[in-house]
Amino acid sequence: MDLAGWLLSFSSWAQVTVGDYGYFGVFLVTLVGNLSVFLPLPGWAIVFAAGAVLNPWLVGFAGGVGSALGELSSYAIGRGGGAVLQKRKDLQKVEAWVKRRGFFPVIIFVAATPLPFDDLIAILAGIVRYDLRKFILANIIGKFILATIIAFAGLYAMEWVLGVFA
């Protein structure tokens, strides 16, 4: 199956899952959507649509927790590959910077934006062995912010979007 077909299959599965399971479906879709590294899956489109029919705050929470836990795959890649890279001087400098200045607000900021840097930050957090609990908490906060904004956008803009594409 080609990439386009796979993305279409994922979108169909996501719509059915959210339709059948509601908030838990949003959680599952965002979890699976964020398990992929560097391949953006259309999970946020489902959060947008779910925000139009479900409580946007709860959609934001379910989507935030699901997508934050999905980022653990990138963290694990960094953790596993970090042993090989740990000896490099430039990574030792990054690790020292993280310990001096803190990485928590950086993770929140990157997680709260739709930019594709969250996988890189998660891999870096794994490489420098950033505390897993802090990583998860910062990711949940950032992803909750992003998912809630997208859910509210769905609440207020879905009718307009359907008018444009109908």
Listed as ranges, residues in the chain with pLDDT below 70 are 1-8, 10-14, 38-41, 82-92, 94-95, 98, 162, 165-166
> How confident is the model at residue 148, as a pLDDT?
97
Query: Is the separation of the CB atoms in 136 and 68 below 8 Å?
Result: yes
d(CA 146, CA 29): 15
Alpha carbons 42 and 29: distance in angstroms, whole number: 9
Confidence at residue 89, expressed as pLDDT on a 0 to 100 scale:
62
The alpha-carbon radius of gyration of the chain (Å, integer) is 17
Express each pLDDT in 110-125 by its tens digit.
899 988 788 888 988 8
pLDDT score recorded for residue 7:
58
Q: Is the distance from CB of 33 to CB of 42 less than 8 angstroms? A: yes
Distances (CA, A) of 30 to 39, 65, 69, 71, 92: 13, 8, 9, 10, 33
Note the maximum CA span of the chain: 56
146 and 111 Cβ atoms separated by less than 8 Å: yes
Residue with tokens 């912010």: 145
So what's the pLDDT on residue 27? 94
The residue among 1, 18, 139, 2 whose CA lies nearest residue 73 is 139
